[in-house]
Amino acid sequence: MTRDIGRVKEVAELVRANIQQVIVGKEEVIELALVAILCQGHILIEDVPGIGKTTLAKTIARSLGCDFRRIQCTPDLMPWDITGVNVYNQKTGDFEFRPGPIMAQVLLMDEINRATPRTQSALLEAMEERQVTVDGVTMPLPVPFLVLATQNPIELEGTFPLPEAQLDRFLLRLPMGYPSEAEEGDILIRFEKGSPLLELEPVVSAVELQTLQGLVSEVYCQDSLRQYVVQVVRATRTHPALELGASPRAALALYRTSRALAAIQGRAYLLPDDVKRMAPYVLVHRLILGSQTRLRGRRVEDIVVEVLASVPVPVEG
């Protein structure tokens, strides 16, 4: 088992190094993205324009050796533009299904909040059940299936905020953040003769990726740590600053991502620190502040810190 987990760490390092041929810095974001990929979860990359959200998503997709499609979301994008549509063939007299871009292993939804709620809802079934239904016929999606979505939280004109049900389908929400001064200088040098993304090659196959994803469930977790995950999630439901706490889906997400983080670090067992590190990225976009809390200017991130501080960490023995 330890040898298998070692392979997870080895491949994760290869993918990380491949991504860093294009992306300068952002080690934390890259590692968290690898966690989501191992959990077969979807990623929402959120930050201001020009930070590198789309570049990161495209770099991840190129590194995985999977079939890739991109959708540039606009207000006139319709659900069938994503899922596909049945078209009447005059020669055969039958309807033929023309698959949409969602029939890909890696799907980039660029500026997802520019799509209308009707179009956003077309992704709900696909993201949760890995299938789409067109004209009453249900079709499975390719395996693996990963949605990478980008969103600009600043510009609100012409956008449609994602509803809670849609946000809950994303395993992680990752902010990018501005680069440091040294990193920004490196970006100028790296991109002065063109984009290194054009020469990037896959470092893992889709088949091996599925094998590694299956190994995450083999990471050992003590009963006390499993209960710790439950207690952290339940504490969000009783916190006075929150109008809506985390759902059981959030508990599953926290449990799975914590084990994936352990695997990436080469460990076949879970630690409390894994849970504490993943909690902000798993829980923040699933919680809703109360009206009085918002008026006081408090952030969801601060509440998650309070929740983690309030729940006793299990101690061995």
Whether the model clears a pTM of 0.85, i.e. scores above it, the answer is yes
- What CATH number belongs to 2-214? 3.40.50.300
State residue 275's pLDDT score.
Answer: 94
Q: What pLDDT, in 10s, does the model give residues 211-249?
A: 888 888 889 999 999 999 999 999 999 988 888 888 899
Q: 317 falls in which pLDDT band (50, 70, 90)? A: low
Q: What is the mean pLDDT of residues 58-62?
A: 86
In the chain, the percentage of residues whose pLDDT exceeds 90 is: 27
Q: What is the mean pLDDT of residues 55-79?
A: 87
Q: What pLDDT, in 10s, does the model give residues 121-158?
A: 888 888 888 888 888 888 888 888 889 888 877 766 76
In the chain, the percentage of residues whose pLDDT exceeds 70 is: 97
State residue 1's pLDDT score.
Answer: 56
Domain ranges of the chain: 2-214, 219-310
Domain range 219-310, its CATH number among 3.40.50.2300, 3.60.21.10, 1.10.8.80, 1.20.1250.20: 1.10.8.80
Handedness of CA 195, 34, 146, 140 (dihedral sign): positive
Q: 208 falls in which pLDDT band (50, 70, 90)? A: confident
Q: 167 falls in which pLDDT band (50, 70, 90)? A: confident
pLDDT at residue 115 is higher than 80: yes
Token reading at 38: 């191992």
Report CA dihedral (31, 37, 41, 45) to the nearest 10 degrees: 50
State residue 2's pLDDT score.
Answer: 60
Write down the mean pLDDT value for the chain: 87
State residue 251's pLDDT score.
Answer: 94
Is 219-310 in the same CATH topology as 2-214?
A: no
The more confidently predicted of residues 265 and 89 is 265
